[in-house]
A = this chain, B = another copy of it.
């Protein structure tokens, strides 16, 4: 498949979730593949000097409303996670880990994480809640613990994050079509245009 959307994301980002729900349709309509690029948004913020929009209270209040509007437009079930912001290091290591070691499980893992984060919504920052969520979905807890503790997995998440920053990423989600970069779930129509 020659056309590709590279999708840099973090499951802790509500707009990454919205983009995640829409991308498969866009990719299918444009005959493009999705290249999943898990990264650690906290690491991107640290490297670029960017901060979460919610650090400005007025912006945070508006964003919650705005995300609700987009979710309604998309017809997506969405509940702002009351535990936000949640440290996603383990979860994003999990994404990288499945992608490296068990790629056929990646999409199922992302579905479980994104839905538990932005549809349920659960406090996945609590290791017990995360373990229970995984277990209920058929992911074995001991295997998961081993996966996210794997030094190569840890290094790959850092490498993805560093690569994102080197290519100009400052937030999530960010899509690339070739060298063109599109920040935000609200730029998916430009992604579609770039693929056309």
Question: Measuring CB to CB, which residues of chain A are less than 8 angstroms from any residue of chain B?
Answer: 48-50, 55-59, 61-62, 65-66, 69, 165, 168-171, 181, 183, 186-187, 190
Contact = CB atoms under 8 A, between A and B. Distances in A.
A60 to B, nearest CB: 9
Contact of A170 (B59, B65, B183): B59
Contacts of A59: 48, 50, 170-171, 183
A66 B170 contact: no
Nearest 5 CB-CB pairs, A to B? Answer: A58-B170, A50-B56, A59-B170, A48-B58, A49-B56
Given A183-B66, A187-B66, A190-B69, A168 B56 contact: no
- Contact residues of A: prevailing secondary structure: helix
Contacts of A187: 66
A65 B186 CA distance: 15
A55 B61 CA distance: 22
B190 A62 contact: no
24 contacts: A48-B56, A48-B58, A48-B59, A49-B56, A49-B57, A50-B58, A50-B59, A56-B170, A58-B165, A58-B168, A58-B169, A58-B170, A59-B170, A59-B171, A59-B183, A61-B168, A62-B168, A62-B170, A62-B181, A62-B183, A65-B181, A66-B183, A66-B187, A69-B190
